[in-house]
Structure 1
Amino acid sequence: MIDRRGVITALAASATFPLATRSVFAQAAMSRMTAYSFSFQGLKGGDIRLADFAGKPLLVVNTASLCGFTPQYAGLQELWTQYRERGLTVIGVPSNDFGAQEPGGAGDITHTAEQTYHVSFPITAKTSVKGPNAHPFYKWAAAERPADLPSWNFHKYLVGRDGHIADAFSSRVEPTDTRVVTAIARALTV
């Protein structure tokens, strides 16, 4: 779990240091957090609390309905179907950040995911995944893996049982690619 006192102490101490030093403290505090510290608003209401999946691997994927990679929903559903009984949760995070390829609302996203691709894994409300307005999970992921930032739709973060990013896969890597399946199998056995 999060060492809240440590985070608060680091942030409080950082107020007495120059701005450059403060960012080091903020990054250190952020790195002690885990993915299980975050929640997303659900596409159909309510919250998707990652704490509800603590100790289990997560595959968090930023999605878009009008992207050339949108057929990857089928592969994500295949992973969800194959591995959910063993503990994997797949979470789709619709985002309009890349090429404005998620312009619609919840109904449009639901239609694409559920009716076109028969997705049954959790999907969040439309969320920003890059820049200053990025969801806190994505800001945390950027601190965890600065070389593995989403550069397009269908970027995949695999979160291990420890709550930290175990691996990341670009949009070009299909969900059912051997590299992804191997990483998931490893995360499930650790």
Structure 2
Amino acid sequence: MGQQLGNRQGGFVAVVVFAALAVAGCSPAANGNGSSPSPSAAPSSASSIASASASATPSGSSSATVNAMVPGFPTQLIPIMPGATPLSTSYDASANPQAASLVASTSSTSDQILDFYSKAFTAQGFTAVAKTKVGTTDSQDFVRSGGKETINVAVVVVNGRTTFTVGASVAPGTIK
């Protein structure tokens, strides 16, 4: 189980780091000329990157959107933290286990984000695993059903902007 959680954590950490870099405008490719964009260009760069990936979402029961909550997103499973702005969401009701993810930004601290989601997930029967730090990314896993259902929260601060990713993999019928 530890290796399984480690692999998931690494994937979510990569997603949150990519999202944070895109939002912060740190990707040279984001503006097409090889130079770093100015901070004011970051949101449009992030939107264009996220829009490209959202448009590549396969049809069926899965969906994704940018700068909003995707219709049908399971907010009872993954609530949006008060004061947070969604950057992208996705939900795949056809998968087994079902998958949902939220990428958002906020002015809250990493500890405040992890505390908010710890309360939300433990209230749903998940057990919190010890918080970890990988480089500048804070992360916490939550498990339920003997480790068959997992949620990961990863938080990174880049250029003063806090971005977090919440990814869940749960049994069908447990997402509402």
Q: Which TM-score applies when normalising by structure 2? A: 0.31
Higher share of residues assigned helix: 1
Q: Which TM-score applies when normalising by structure 1? A: 0.29
